[in-house]
């Protein structure tokens, strides 16, 4: 995957084409002096277990990795905390109400969106939900269901950071 620098030709502040790579983290405008740092976007991921120790998984309805397994989650909105974001994403994708969140770990990732590489920092949470019976697939989820932990296969997850996160979660 290419670095997103190649898609940014003009300075976002003044519009000059004198927008050049400063280093592997930033581009600098020779015309107005503006430096833009390419920092990762924050994203959340939820691990939800039911009373039978089964993990909630989702099947992706859209690219990238359409049709593969995933976990509920998504990009944070502006001014949203990680906890608020994971609560919102779980509700949007599954209809379930999160009662409690526990931050576990983070994994850097690259997410291809509309032929654009978005560098992310995926924040993984263990979430306790109000009830597991009202599960419905919404938003960019084709289906949502529980799998016994002993049958979870990390290779069934289509996104690299989710696969790595599942492997790490299974060893906690």
The verdict on domain 41-170 having CATH code 3.40.50.720 is no
Taking Cα atoms as reference points, which of 62, 88, 69 lies closest to residue 145?
Answer: 69
Neighbours of 73 (CB within 10 A): 24
- Alpha carbon distance 69, 162 (integer Å): 9
Q: Domain residue spans in the chain?
A: 4-37, 41-170
pTM: 0.90
CB 95 within 8 A of CB 53: no
pLDDT in tens, the chain (172 residues): 566 777 889 999 999 999 999 998 899 999 999 999 989 999 999 999 999 999 999 999 999 999 999 999 999 999 999 999 999 999 999 999 999 999 999 999 988 887 778 889 999 999 999 977 778 899 999 999 999 999 999 999 999 999 999 999 999 8
Report the run of H or E that residue 106 belongs to, with start and end.
strand 98-113
Helix ranges, the chain (H): 82-94, 160-170
Look up residue 63 and give its two tokens: 């690219």
- Alpha carbon distance 83, 96 (integer Å): 15
């Amino acid at each position: 995957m290419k670095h997103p620098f190649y898609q940014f030709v003009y300075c976002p502040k003044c519009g000059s084409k004198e927008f050049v790579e400063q280093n592997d983290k930033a581009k600098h405008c020779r015309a107005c002096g503006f430096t833009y740092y390419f920092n990762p976007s924050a994203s959340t991921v939820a691990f939800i277990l039911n009373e039978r120790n089964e993990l909630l998984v989702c099947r992706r309805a859209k690219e990238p990795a359409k049709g593969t397994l995933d976990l509920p989650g998504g990009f944070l909105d502006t001014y949203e905390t990680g906890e608020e974001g994971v609560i919102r994403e779980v509700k949007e994708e599954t209809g379930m109400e999160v009662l409690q969140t526990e931050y576990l770990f983070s994994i850097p990732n690259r997410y291809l969106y509309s032929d654009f590489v978005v560098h992310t920092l995926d924040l993984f949470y263990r979430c306790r939900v109000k009830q597991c019976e009202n599960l419905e697939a919404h938003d960019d989820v084709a289906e949502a269901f529980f799998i016994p932990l002993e049958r979870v296969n990390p290779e069934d997850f289509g996104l690299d950071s989710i696969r790595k996160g599942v492997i790490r979660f299974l060893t906690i």
